[in-house]
Amino acid sequence: MATSMTTSTLTLPAPAKLNLFLHINEQREDGYHELQTLFQFIDRCDALHFTAISEDAIQISPAIPGVKTKDNLIHKAATLLIPFKKVNTGIQIKLDKVLPMGGGIGGGSSDAATTLVALNQLWLCGLNTQQLSEIGLKLGADVPVFVQGHAAWAEGVGEKLTPAHPTEPWYVVLTPACHVNTGEIFSHQGLTRDTPKLRIALALEGDVKNYQNDCEKIVSELYPEVKLAIESLNQYGSARLTGTGACVFAAFDSKEEAQKVFSKVSIRVKGFIAKGLNVSPLIR
């Protein structure tokens, strides 16, 4: 027998992530790229509010400009859990959007992961973390790390995860006013696709400042706003692109140091200050 639900609202965060480095090792025959990266969360988050409704439907608000409902990762995530739901109600999901789209900090993937975690509970699906991660991978390579909620070394297309414990510095994150097309970057002829693979032990014990983001050169060439952000932040620290961009970040030892730098660079490029976290706010 289906179980009914109360009308209380569950509110959960959907945190951003940074790729502390990103190496593209090769392109596979199926077109996807083998990569190595180190994921870490930051305390900058979207918020999602989940409320049961009597109508057996998935309602999402507000609409995201330029994105059809069926293409919204939140809607896709909810739809994938329908076969497992054990309640006879639908769901209303309200999104408080903070994270920029197309920024390389995983906003859409994180929203999808939070939706999977929330509805697994609210719909009494009974799925474990590994099962949710496998479902999340259908939505995007970054979704599993958000579901699992721990900083991680990643290989494959980003789905092979090993827990990691990098330092948790303060970051200045700049958000150039552009939306980088991930497909455009990964299909670009100039993209480096032959960076030698690192041994995980060497990477986790080493200083990630010695590694790089293989997408950074191409993104900087195609998006002048990103180039400006990197140049601005490089005056005060070691700036790096996250993911395929557009966001750029640099690490600092203290909040005070990060604030001081941000007050200078934010005159040219918008952004924010955030704390690095090895455990996701969603899991906490």
Nearest CA to 175 out of 269, 106, 64, 102 is that of 269
β 90-96/58-61 pair status: parallel
Phi, psi angles (nearest 5°) of residue 28: -80, 170
Residue 142 annotated among the catalytic residues of the structure: yes
> Which contiguous run of DSSP H or E holds residue 262?
helix 255-265
Nearest CA to 80 out of 7, 129, 136 is that of 136
Which residue of the set 46, 111, 142, 214 is catalytic? 142
Other CB atoms within 10 A of residue 171 CB: 26
- Which residues are registered as beta bridge partners of 27? 33
What burial class does residue 27 get, using C-beta atoms within 10 Å of its C-beta: 0-12 exposed, 13-18 middle, 19+ buried? middle
**Contact (CB, 8 A) for 23 and 153:** no
Spatial neighbors of 229 by CB under 8 A, at least 6 apart, are 174, 176, 239, 246, 248, 268, 269, 271
Cα–Cα distance measured from residue 233 to residue 228, given in angstroms and rounded to the nearest whole number: 9
Query: What residue has token string 């979207």?
Result: 46
Which residue of the set 17, 85, 111, 214 is catalytic? 17
Residue 197 annotated among the catalytic residues of the structure: no
- Residues with a catalytic annotation lie at 17, 142
